[in-house]
Amino acid sequence: MGIHMKQSQLFTRTKKESPADEISRNAELLLKGGFIYKEMAGVYDYMPLGLRVFNKIVGIIREEMNAIGGQEVTLSSLQEKATWEPTNQWDDEQVDVWFKTKLKNDTELGLAVTHEPPMTKMLKDYVQSYRDLPQYVYQFQTKFRNETRAKSGIMRTREFVMKDLYSFDIDEALHLAFYEKAKQAYKKVFQRMGIGHITYLTFASGGMFSKFSHEFQTITGAGEDIIYIDEEKGIALNKEVYTDEVIEQLGLDKSKLVEKRAVEVGNIFTLGTRFSDALGLTYTNEAGESKSVFMGSYGIGPGRVMGTIVETLSDDKGIIWPEAIAPFRVHMLRLGDDEHVKNRANEVYELLQKHNVEVLFDDREGMSPGEKFADADLIGIPYRLVISKRSIEEGGVEVKKRTEEKGRVVPIEDFITSLETTNSPEA
């Protein structure tokens, strides 16, 4: 699908009825709008409109990962047992979400739940000396997890794409400098996607090397986590570390902390040398001594982000996409099928294409204005452009933002100019 699309040619259809087997709002709206298709519980396909949103989310994350020195790769989902044994993670008692399978000769394989061990193993081929470091490697890659609860639509699925970046540094100090950069990059990612104001850097439990990890938690009733927010400082604590001792250690005031339900949209983690020690990822320092590489990992689930945006930015009529990730920037509706209106609508469609405006053109015949309006509200594209007998008589097109109650008729040239002067919505 290019940047222009006629709705009559879109193979997906909007649905009037809510799906009977979904309790989550994101799944309900995305299914009704034709963004996703449900294969089975916890497994969804992305349809043309949904894939456009998904790819825009991926694009924003990719830009920010490249900006902090990330190099993109993609590792396989099929994983060998031997890669996971050194860290004891092949064990179903340790990792309880594995999908496992077998080769014809009975050799066991796993479908990747995450990629710390394979990434560490892969880097062994390329890192020998301190001169080979640092390295920051990331991917958008499919994970499989046998999640017990899969009732949150695309926010928790059994097959999902994760952006996972792994950092490989010489020592803890250099690691921490990168960790700080990653934190800022994550903030930018969520700001650009329109959920920066409801997303909090949250202290969570850390594991072996650091007392805390950091989660990016977005406030929503659809979340599974409880966090405690300090609004002034703009940070939060996950319930799992909410103790008097931690509150004091972080210099927070318990009486100011507000409890909220939230969803983890991303996390950043200091791994230290757990994986490099276990898998033998070492380098030789300037003095000729062998040292373990110091690691971190950084995850974001683009599908979970998309679901979270639908949960938090929608109204009773449908989705309200932020401009930076909307499937199209303009939804052009032709009301009425008579020649005069058709001709004018086609001219405007061509004009928009000439100006590189991403436009979905509702050219469907035999539909009432009410039906077209309802679909436009459900699909949630930022600008609705109506071309009708009336708008033509009034000398233009009727423009309405998804967030506005009423539109206004303006000459088409003025509308295009206004779009061009607010060109990069995410900046």
Residue 196: how many other CB atoms lie within 10 Å: 14
How far, in Å, CA of 304 to CA of 158, rounded? 12
* Residue with smaller CB distance to ligand ATP, 76 or 148: 148
The verdict on 147 binding ligand ATP (CB under 6 A) reads: yes
The verdict on 264 binding ligand ATP (CB under 6 A) reads: yes
Q: Which of 299, 327, 380, 382 binds ligand ATP (CB under 6 A)?
A: 299
Q: Least distance (Å) from ligand ATP to the CB of residue 213?
A: 9
Question: Which range, of 293-301, 318-326, 357-365, 399-407, touches ligand ATP by CB under 6 A?
Answer: 293-301
Q: Least distance (Å) from ligand ATP to the CB of residue 267?
A: 5
Q: Least distance (Å) from ligand ATP to the CB of residue 344?
A: 45
How far, in Å, CA of 80 to CA of 112, rounded? 9
The verdict on 214 binding ligand ATP (CB under 6 A) reads: no
Eight-class DSSP state of 82 = H
* Residue with smaller CB distance to ligand ATP, 143 or 331: 143
The alpha carbon of residue 322 and the mean position of all alpha carbons in its chain are separated, in whole angstroms, by 13
How far, in Å, CA of 148 to CA of 142, rounded? 18
Q: Least distance (Å) from ligand ATP to the CB of residue 144?
A: 9
* Residue with smaller CB distance to ligand ATP, 144 or 415: 144
Please, what is the angle between helix 369-379 and helix 25-33, to 10°? Answer: 130
Identify residues 112-131 at the interface with ligand ATP (CB under 6 A): 114
Of 85, 79, 138, 136, nearest in space to 111 by CA: 79
On whether the CB atoms of residues 363 and 387 are closer than 8 A, the answer is no
Q: Least distance (Å) from ligand ATP to the CB of residue 241?
A: 14
Q: Least distance (Å) from ligand ATP to the CB of residue 44?
A: 10
Q: Least distance (Å) from ligand ATP to the CB of residue 102?
A: 24
Q: Least distance (Å) from ligand ATP to the CB of residue 277?
A: 21
The verdict on 359 binding ligand ATP (CB under 6 A) reads: no
On whether the CB atoms of residues 380 and 323 are closer than 8 A, the answer is no
Q: Least distance (Å) from ligand ATP to the CB of residue 223?
A: 9
* Residue with smaller CB distance to ligand ATP, 33 or 301: 301
How far, in Å, CA of 141 to CA of 262, rounded? 25
On whether the CB atoms of residues 74 and 137 are closer than 8 A, the answer is no
Query: By rule CB under 6 A, what count of residues binds ligand ATP?
Result: 16
* Residue with smaller CB distance to ligand ATP, 265 or 310: 265
The verdict on 223 binding ligand ATP (CB under 6 A) reads: no
The verdict on 156 binding ligand ATP (CB under 6 A) reads: yes
On whether the CB atoms of residues 160 and 274 are closer than 8 A, the answer is no
The verdict on 145 binding ligand ATP (CB under 6 A) reads: yes
Of 56, 52, 5, nearest in space to 426 by CA: 56
* Residue with smaller CB distance to ligand ATP, 43 or 170: 43
Of 312, 268, 264, 326, nearest in space to 65 by CA: 268
Identify residues 304-343 at the interface with ligand ATP (CB under 6 A): 304
On whether the CB atoms of residues 175 and 296 are closer than 8 A, the answer is yes
* Residue with smaller CB distance to ligand ATP, 186 or 283: 186
* Residue with smaller CB distance to ligand ATP, 186 or 328: 186
Prior bond of 134 cis (ω within 30°): yes
Single-letter amino acid code for the residue at 233: K
The verdict on 58 binding ligand ATP (CB under 6 A) reads: no
The verdict on 141 binding ligand ATP (CB under 6 A) reads: no
b or e along 119-152 (b: 16 or more beta carbons within 10 Å of the residue's beta carbon)? bbbbbeeebeebeebbbbbbbbbebbbbbeebeb
Please state whether beta strands 294-300 and 212-219 pair in parallel, antiparallel, or not at all (unpaired).
Answer: unpaired
* Residue with smaller CB distance to ligand ATP, 43 or 250: 43
Of 297, 420, 414, 413, nearest in space to 358 by CA: 420
Rg (CA), the chain: 25
Q: Which of 195, 219, 265, 381 binds ligand ATP (CB under 6 A)?
A: 265
Question: Residues interacting with ligand ATP, by CB under 6 A?
Answer: 114, 145, 147, 156-157, 160, 162, 264-267, 299-301, 303-304
